[in-house]
Amino acid sequence: MRWLVVLGTALVLGGCTARDPYVSNTANTVRSGEWRIERQADRITGNAIASALLLTRNSSHSGVDYAQPAQIQLTCFEGKPVVRFAFEFKIGSDKNSALGYRFDDKPGRDNVESRVLIGYTVVVIEEPAAVAQFVEELANSNVLYLRIRSLNAGRTTAEFHVAGAPAAVQAAFSDCPVTAPAGPKRSP
Protein backbone atom coordinates (compact mmCIF):
# COMPACT_ATOMS: atom_id res chain seq x y z
CA MET A 1 0.00 0.00 0.00
CA ARG A 2 2.90 2.35 0.75
CA TRP A 3 4.22 1.91 -2.77
CA LEU A 4 0.94 3.29 -4.12
CA VAL A 5 1.40 6.44 -2.03
CA VAL A 6 5.01 6.80 -3.20
CA LEU A 7 3.99 6.20 -6.82
CA GLY A 8 1.11 8.66 -6.60
CA THR A 9 3.35 11.32 -5.05
CA ALA A 10 6.01 10.78 -7.72
CA LEU A 11 3.45 11.13 -10.50
CA VAL A 12 1.97 14.29 -9.02
CA LEU A 13 5.37 15.90 -8.46
CA GLY A 14 6.62 14.76 -11.84
CA GLY A 15 3.90 16.84 -13.45
CA CYS A 16 5.33 19.93 -11.74
CA THR A 17 8.66 19.68 -13.53
CA ALA A 18 8.98 22.45 -16.10
CA ARG A 19 10.10 21.75 -19.64
CA ASP A 20 13.53 22.95 -20.59
CA PRO A 21 13.01 26.27 -22.43
CA TYR A 22 15.62 25.18 -24.98
CA VAL A 23 13.19 22.65 -26.45
CA SER A 24 9.83 24.26 -25.78
CA ASN A 25 10.09 26.91 -28.55
CA THR A 26 7.52 29.07 -26.71
CA ALA A 27 9.64 30.64 -23.98
CA ASN A 28 11.61 33.76 -24.79
CA THR A 29 10.09 34.42 -28.19
CA VAL A 30 8.95 37.61 -29.89
CA ARG A 31 6.43 37.83 -32.69
CA SER A 32 6.66 39.33 -36.15
CA GLY A 33 3.36 38.74 -37.88
CA GLU A 34 2.63 35.10 -37.06
CA TRP A 35 6.36 34.23 -36.85
CA ARG A 36 7.87 33.30 -33.47
CA ILE A 37 11.47 34.46 -33.22
CA GLU A 38 13.51 32.79 -30.50
CA ARG A 39 15.40 35.05 -28.08
CA GLN A 40 17.43 32.80 -25.84
CA ALA A 41 20.94 31.47 -25.43
CA ASP A 42 22.10 27.93 -26.12
CA ARG A 43 22.83 26.39 -22.73
CA ILE A 44 25.94 24.61 -24.04
CA THR A 45 27.69 27.34 -26.06
CA GLY A 46 26.10 30.47 -24.62
CA ASN A 47 25.49 31.73 -28.17
CA ALA A 48 22.14 33.12 -29.20
CA ILE A 49 19.80 30.61 -30.81
CA ALA A 50 19.11 31.70 -34.37
CA SER A 51 15.64 30.43 -35.24
CA ALA A 52 12.26 31.66 -36.44
CA LEU A 53 9.17 29.43 -36.57
CA LEU A 54 5.84 29.72 -38.33
CA LEU A 55 2.94 27.30 -37.88
CA THR A 56 -0.05 26.62 -40.08
CA ARG A 57 -3.12 24.48 -39.61
CA ASN A 58 -3.65 24.38 -43.36
CA SER A 59 -1.60 21.37 -44.48
CA SER A 60 -3.10 18.53 -46.49
CA HIS A 61 -2.02 15.13 -47.73
CA SER A 62 -3.61 12.87 -50.32
CA GLY A 63 -3.76 10.05 -47.76
CA VAL A 64 -5.29 12.06 -44.88
CA ASP A 65 -8.95 13.09 -44.73
CA TYR A 66 -8.54 16.39 -42.88
CA ALA A 67 -6.09 19.30 -42.58
CA GLN A 68 -3.08 18.89 -40.28
CA PRO A 69 -0.59 21.35 -38.76
CA ALA A 70 2.76 22.02 -40.39
CA GLN A 71 5.73 24.21 -39.56
CA ILE A 72 8.37 26.23 -41.36
CA GLN A 73 11.59 27.03 -39.56
CA LEU A 74 14.40 29.34 -40.60
CA THR A 75 17.61 28.51 -38.77
CA CYS A 76 21.38 28.16 -38.87
CA PHE A 77 22.58 24.58 -38.66
CA GLU A 78 26.30 23.94 -38.39
CA GLY A 79 26.97 27.50 -39.55
CA LYS A 80 24.78 27.28 -42.66
CA PRO A 81 21.31 28.70 -43.39
CA VAL A 82 18.53 26.12 -43.61
CA VAL A 83 14.81 26.30 -44.40
CA ARG A 84 13.00 23.39 -42.71
CA PHE A 85 9.41 22.22 -43.26
CA ALA A 86 7.88 19.72 -40.79
CA PHE A 87 4.62 17.80 -41.17
CA GLU A 88 2.48 15.44 -39.07
CA PHE A 89 2.53 12.73 -41.75
CA LYS A 90 5.01 11.10 -44.10
CA ILE A 91 5.73 13.22 -47.15
CA GLY A 92 7.91 10.87 -49.20
CA SER A 93 11.56 9.95 -49.40
CA ASP A 94 14.61 11.75 -50.66
CA LYS A 95 14.97 9.87 -53.95
CA ASN A 96 11.37 10.12 -55.16
CA SER A 97 9.97 13.45 -53.95
CA ALA A 98 9.87 16.89 -55.57
CA LEU A 99 9.37 20.17 -53.70
CA GLY A 100 7.72 23.18 -55.28
CA TYR A 101 6.49 26.50 -53.91
CA ARG A 102 4.90 29.77 -54.87
CA PHE A 103 4.76 33.11 -53.07
CA ASP A 104 1.64 35.24 -53.57
CA ASP A 105 1.00 35.57 -57.32
CA LYS A 106 4.66 35.38 -58.29
CA PRO A 107 5.93 32.64 -60.61
CA GLY A 108 6.28 29.31 -58.84
CA ARG A 109 9.45 27.27 -58.36
CA ASP A 110 9.34 23.54 -59.09
CA ASN A 111 11.83 20.74 -58.39
CA VAL A 112 13.62 22.89 -55.82
CA GLU A 113 16.82 21.31 -54.59
CA SER A 114 15.84 19.84 -51.22
CA ARG A 115 16.30 16.80 -49.02
CA VAL A 116 13.77 14.66 -47.11
CA LEU A 117 15.18 13.67 -43.73
CA ILE A 118 15.00 10.24 -42.13
CA GLY A 119 11.57 9.78 -40.57
CA TYR A 120 10.06 11.12 -43.82
CA THR A 121 8.12 14.00 -42.20
CA VAL A 122 10.68 16.79 -42.67
CA VAL A 123 12.10 18.35 -45.84
CA VAL A 124 14.90 20.93 -45.85
CA ILE A 125 16.23 23.42 -48.35
CA GLU A 126 19.93 23.77 -47.60
CA GLU A 127 21.71 24.31 -50.92
CA PRO A 128 22.97 27.93 -50.78
CA ALA A 129 21.47 29.14 -54.07
CA ALA A 130 18.09 27.53 -53.32
CA VAL A 131 18.03 29.03 -49.80
CA ALA A 132 18.97 32.46 -51.16
CA GLN A 133 16.23 32.38 -53.79
CA PHE A 134 13.62 31.21 -51.27
CA VAL A 135 14.57 33.85 -48.68
CA GLU A 136 14.64 36.65 -51.25
CA GLU A 137 11.07 35.88 -52.30
CA LEU A 138 9.91 35.21 -48.72
CA ALA A 139 10.98 38.64 -47.48
CA ASN A 140 8.47 40.49 -49.70
CA SER A 141 5.51 38.11 -49.61
CA ASN A 142 2.33 37.45 -47.67
CA VAL A 143 1.41 33.85 -48.57
CA LEU A 144 3.54 30.78 -49.28
CA TYR A 145 1.96 27.78 -51.00
CA LEU A 146 4.14 24.67 -50.72
CA ARG A 147 3.68 21.39 -52.61
CA ILE A 148 5.54 18.09 -52.39
CA ARG A 149 4.93 15.36 -54.95
CA SER A 150 6.09 11.86 -54.08
CA LEU A 151 5.90 8.53 -55.87
CA ASN A 152 5.55 6.58 -52.63
CA ALA A 153 3.67 9.03 -50.39
CA GLY A 154 1.27 10.95 -52.65
CA ARG A 155 0.84 14.71 -52.61
CA THR A 156 1.36 17.14 -49.72
CA THR A 157 0.43 20.82 -49.62
CA ALA A 158 0.66 23.60 -47.04
CA GLU A 159 -0.24 27.26 -47.03
CA PHE A 160 1.60 29.66 -44.72
CA HIS A 161 0.79 33.31 -44.00
CA VAL A 162 4.34 34.69 -44.04
CA ALA A 163 3.78 38.41 -43.35
CA GLY A 164 6.45 39.63 -40.93
CA ALA A 165 9.14 37.53 -42.60
CA PRO A 166 11.85 40.26 -42.87
CA ALA A 167 12.34 40.30 -39.07
CA ALA A 168 12.25 36.49 -38.98
CA VAL A 169 14.87 36.23 -41.74
CA GLN A 170 17.14 38.80 -40.08
CA ALA A 171 16.96 37.07 -36.69
CA ALA A 172 17.24 33.50 -37.95
CA PHE A 173 20.18 34.09 -40.26
CA SER A 174 22.12 36.68 -38.23
CA ASP A 175 24.92 34.16 -37.54
CA CYS A 176 24.91 32.58 -41.01
CA PRO A 177 24.05 35.18 -43.63
CA VAL A 178 22.26 33.96 -46.74
CA THR A 179 24.35 34.55 -49.82
CA ALA A 180 23.92 33.07 -53.24
CA PRO A 181 27.10 31.55 -54.61
CA ALA A 182 28.85 33.66 -57.19
CA GLY A 183 28.06 32.69 -60.75
CA PRO A 184 30.68 31.83 -63.34
CA LYS A 185 33.03 34.70 -64.15
CA ARG A 186 32.66 36.21 -67.58
CA SER A 187 35.75 36.71 -69.60
CA PRO A 188 36.22 40.21 -71.10
Q: Which of 150, 162, 159, 163 is nearest to 59 (CA)?
A: 159
Phi, psi of 41 (to 5 degrees): -100, 145
Which ranges in 17-175 belong to alpha helices (H)?
21-24, 128-138, 165-172
What band does 30 get if pLDDT is binned at 50, 70 and 90? confident
Residue type, 182: A
Q: What is the pLDDT of residue 109?
A: 97
Whether the Cβ atoms of residue 39 and residue 47 lie closer than 8 Å to each other? no
Average pLDDT taken over every residue of the chain: 86
Q: What is the pLDDT of residue 94?
A: 87
- Mean pLDDT confidence for 20-26: 51
> What's this model's pTM, rounded to 2 decimal places?
0.83
pLDDT digits (tens, 9 = 90+) for 89-101: 999 998 899 999 9
Q: Which of 185, 91, 75, 77 is nearest to 135 (CA)?
A: 75
Dihedral in degrees, nearest 10, Cα atoms 75, 76, 78, 79: 170
